[in-house]
Structure 1
Amino acid sequence: MSSISEEYLGAVIRKIAAVNHILHWSYDQVKFENIAQNYFGVLIPIVLSGKRRGKDVKYSLVLKLAPTNEQYRVSGAVTVMFVREVYMYSVVLRKYGEIQEGLPKTSQYIIPRCYFVHEEYCKEAIALQDMCAAGYKPYTHEMFLDLSHTLLSLKSLAKLHAFSFILKNKNQELYEEIAQTCIPLTEHTNLRYMEIMRDRLDQALKTFDRTLYIPLLFKLRLNCAEFFYAAGHSVQNSCLCHGDIWKENILFKYEGNKVVSACIIDYQTARISSPAYDVMYLIISSTNTKLRNKYLHQLLDIYFRTFEMILKELGLESKEIYSRQMFDKDLKVVSPACVIAANTALWLSNGLQEVGHVRSKNVLNTKEEKAMALDTYKGIVKAIMDDLSRFGYLSLADDNP
């Protein structure tokens, strides 16, 4: 990932200060060698201090900056993702904030405040409220979420989907504009993404060679584009979804040792899809097989009850828009695409992607480390396929999933 110079960083902060009418400003940041990076940009936490309307102010911000070197922009993915996230914060989430005014606090969707966006090519920037400074933390102590964190994540996701349906039904003009920007994921709209998905399925086919999972993996590989198309077009209804909702894109707030709130972040892949895609993807990517087998029905119930409640509070009935029966049907339609995406994410997060523009953050140095990582990946993906087969969402046999 390209580095960000002090000069460039200062120029970005100068713009943020000007837009927010902050005078006599200064900023503190973590040391450059400690800057966190995500797969499609650089994250820089800063504290911006100064005067606004004669009063001392201090803002804890996270700057999300696109790589300025064009060599990292070859595929076009970074550009598309920043355009989408800028749009989400400057238009969509701002509108959601207006929609939820007057709702009880427990019904509100947590939205980081956005202080600045810039869309110029190779200079894209977003300045967001640092939710960690507001008491939110990533879930880092275990590989998978426990029950309480999963339930809160699904409740938050249900609010996101409900607000989308509210907008779709009460402001069709804006929703149509959103649908033109946050387009469904298909081979036509993102060929590079599909190529990556198929490549990681090739890796899975090698890993699971001579096992009972080969027929399913082969069908997923052969029909990859069709399965993603179905998740956006062959469903009972669709709305604006997150598109990449797993534990790495959720922050949590605690009171004592109890988790009390979830904040969903990173909207680069927001797109029109079935809500069931987000729900199923979150569950299979962020929980272990023990939790899924014991609580899957409870997780789906909590999600849908929250979705139903938010719609009702804002004057809509789920049975007229997106009923539980529709949701249950869509879960079966989207499951193949969810498995394909989870396979890619797990290959990456386990340190197995060593080449390409998007590489694993985890660097594996020895053969032993790589073998252990491969075994971990294989065990997780196997459990996902087993569980979805057991619950009737996929088939391991030689018929269609």
Structure 2
Amino acid sequence: MGVNDTGNESELTSSTSKMNLEMLQKIFLKIEPDVIIDSYEESKGADRGDNYTAALFRLTLKGHTPSSDGSKKLRWEKTVICKRLPDCKVKREAFKSETLFRNEVEFYNTIMPEFLAFQKRKSGSGNASEIFTAVPQCYLAQDDLVILEDLRVRRFSMPNRQRGLGMEQMKVTLVELAKYHAVSLAYREQHPTEFKKLISKISEGIFAKANTEWYKNYYGILTKNAIQMVTQTVPGKAEYADKLKAFVKNFFGNMVDLVNKDTKLSVICHGDCWTNNILYKYDDKGSICETYFVDFQMIRYGSFALDLSYMIYCCTDASLRKTNLQNWLKIYHQQLVKSLKLLGSLEDLCTDEEDLLQQIKDEFKECARFGLGTAMDMLPISTCSSEEAPDLYVSASEGVPAPPELNVPTNEDCRRKMTDIVMELVDGEML
């Protein structure tokens, strides 16, 4: 799982446009020193609607290794995911891609290695299944380029964006998310100075006060669309639209306040927990045996409930939430307890396990509005077809950078999901 065990990074070019065989050879020199890379092929790594803040490509590397006696060449092949900043400066500025990209570089170069080392020190001969390692191996993370293992090779697959997450997917994802958050909580309690250094390396990618004017029109359109969807779907129940209007009157300010709220259960959040950033591996019987997270560009320091509310309200149907929401919080709580016990910090955070469960419920209720806010952005994208999704990779003319425009036509599924969330939060006194 080593990050940057790739030889001398300073010898590598920081420009993806200069990627060549020599560069790739240096990256894999320490990992697989006997391999000679002869060629590579590049193909698209994401469909339209799957990624907006970075360009994703799949590289197929082909080469050889000499046989033990040197008499023949043995074929070698590896596919990797190459993630880089959009070539177009206007696109980079629109999505604040450079800030987001730096976050991911810091995650792979600094945060995850520190979390892995901490877990190794604390777990000893403990249960390895409570350890969080569910991220792809990183071969290189620098400047405008990140190279990761291709999880598809290990038979991982992405869930259907339009369908969202089902019961089994939710359960296993909550378990892994709790493990990830537990490491953050334990590390913060036991190494407060070092933890402050970690969070100083990352920046809020979207909901920073400085971005208020930049995103004013973007979120103005999204909130207007959300009000329209709710009003059209439940025209005879003005209380739902009224509560929504009150929230969006100062929408960006409310979202900024939510991400800046520092609590006893604040962690380094994943920040972008939706279907396209969660991959599953299935066994021969069709059950999920492994769950991995990808895309750490949106990492932020904030309440654990920001991740939970984002995932629950952006990725599940109201019918599932109605009968399972409280159970999901219990599943998350049970795993958090297990991992915190292993890491030695359970007593630092609560008087007992029931106290922790109540903290989780209270904080989730407070942060549910964040899930609604992100749903206004994500539901139009996640419910549309690939053909309807905006295409980041279409060349834009170089000019004055402008805020992003992702005007996706609303559809019936989007209207239903948005209205369900608003009604659920109003009825549950969370909005």
Pick the TM interval, shorter chain: 0.7 to 0.9
Counterpart in the other structure of 1:108:
131
The answer to whether the aligner puts 1:24 opposite 2:48 as a matched pair is: no
* Structure 1 residue 156, shift from structure 2 partner: 0.9
- Residue 303 (structure 1) shift: 0.6
Aligned-partner Cα distance in 2 for 1:116–1:223? 40
Q: Say yes or no: does 1:82 pair with 2:101.
A: yes
> Which AA in structure 2 matches 1:132?
R
Q: Return the alpha-carbon distance in structure 2 between the equivalents of residues 172 and 34 of structure 1.
A: 38
Task: Give the letter aligned to residue 41 of structure 2.
Answer: Q
1:302 maps to what in 2? 331
Q: In the alignment, what sits opposite 2:275?
A: 247
Which of 179, 187, 195 is matched with 1:167 structurally?
187
After TM superposition, give the deviation of residue 39 of structure 1 in Å: 0.6
State the Cα RMSD in Å. 3.0
1:108-257 matched pairs, under 5 angstroms = 108-109=131-132, 110-119=134-143, 124-140=144-160, 143-184=163-204, 186-191=207-212, 192-193=214-215, 196-209=218-231, 212=238, 213-234=240-261, 236-237=263-264, 238-256=266-284, 257=286
Matched, 1:46 2:59: yes
> Which runs of 5 or more residues in structure 1 are unaligned?
1-6, 364-369, 395-400
Alignment check: 8 A CA contact 1:220 1:340 kept: no
Q: Which has the higher contact order (CA 8 A, sep 6+)?
A: 2
- Alpha-carbon spacing, 1:207–1:291, altered in 2? closer, same or farther (3 Å): closer
1:381 paired residue number: 418
Query: Cα offset for 1:35?
Result: 7.3
Offset at 1:133?
0.8
Q: Taking every aligned residue pair, what percent have the same amino acid on both sides? A: 19
SS in 2 for 1:132: helix
CA distance in 1 between partners of 2:261 and 2:79 (Å): 43
Read off the aligned partner of 1:271 and give its amino acid letter.
R
Q: Distance in 1 between matches of 2:162 and 2:155?
A: 19
The superposition leaves residues 165-215 of structure 1 with CA deviations (integer Å, 9 ceiling, x where unpaired) of 122122323311222233456442533356533331022223334552321
The answer (yes or no) to whether the contact 2:43–2:58 under 8 Å persists in 1 is: no
Q: 1:27 Cα shift? A: 4.1
State the number of aligned residues.
Answer: 374
Which is greater in Rg? 2
Name the CA distance, whole Å, in 1 between partners of 2:277 and 2:100: 15
Query: 3-state SS of the aligned residue for 1:117?
Result: strand
Paired AA for residue 279 in structure 2: L
CA distance in 1, matches of 2:101, 2:250: 29
Residues 73 and 79 in structure 1, CA contact (< 8 A), matched pair in contact too: yes
What secondary structure does 1:47 align onto?
A: strand
Q: 1:214 to 1:141 in 2, by over 3 A?
A: closer
Scaled by the length of structure 1, the TM-score of the pair is 0.83
Whether contact under 8 Å (1:241, 1:271) holds in the other structure is yes
* Secondary structure of residue in 2 paired with 1:252: strand
Q: Which runs of 5+ in 2 are unaligned?
A: 1-14, 69-73, 392-402
Matches within 5 A, 1:4-23: 11=19, 14-21=22-29
Kept in 1: contact 2:140–2:148 (CA 8 A): yes
Please give the alpha-carbon distance, in whole angstroms, between the structure 2 residues aligned to 1:16 and 1:177: 31
* Aligned: 1:70 with 2:98: no
8 Å CA contact retained: 1:112, 1:128: yes
SS in structure 2 at match of 1:26 = strand
What residue number does 2:314 align with? Answer: 285
Contact (CA 8 Å) 1:243, 1:269: kept in 2 or not? Answer: yes
Give distance in 1, aligned partners of 2:371 and 2:79: 35
Provide the C-alpha distance between the structure 2 equivalents of 1:96 and 1:169, rounded to a whole number of angstroms. 13
| CA shift digits 1:255-295 (9 cap, x unpaired) | 02111221011111100110011112111111111111111
User: Which 10-residue stretch deviates more, 343-352 or 316-325?
Assistant: 316-325
* Distance in 2 between residues matched to 1:117 and 1:13, nearest whole Å: 18
What is the TM-score normalised by the length of structure 2?
A: 0.78
- 1:340 paired to 2:358: no
Query: Kindly tell me: are residues 385 and 52 of structure 1, through their superposed partners in 2, closer, same or farther at Cα, counting changes over 3 Å?
Result: farther
- Matching residue within 288, 293, 306 for 1:259: 288
User: How far apart in 2 are the matches of 1:205 and 1:32?
Assistant: 36
Q: In the TM superposition, what are the counterparts of 1:384-399 in structure 2 within 5 Å?
A: 384-392=421-429, 394=430
Report the alpha carbon displacement of residue 30 of structure 1 after superposing the two structures with TM: 5.2
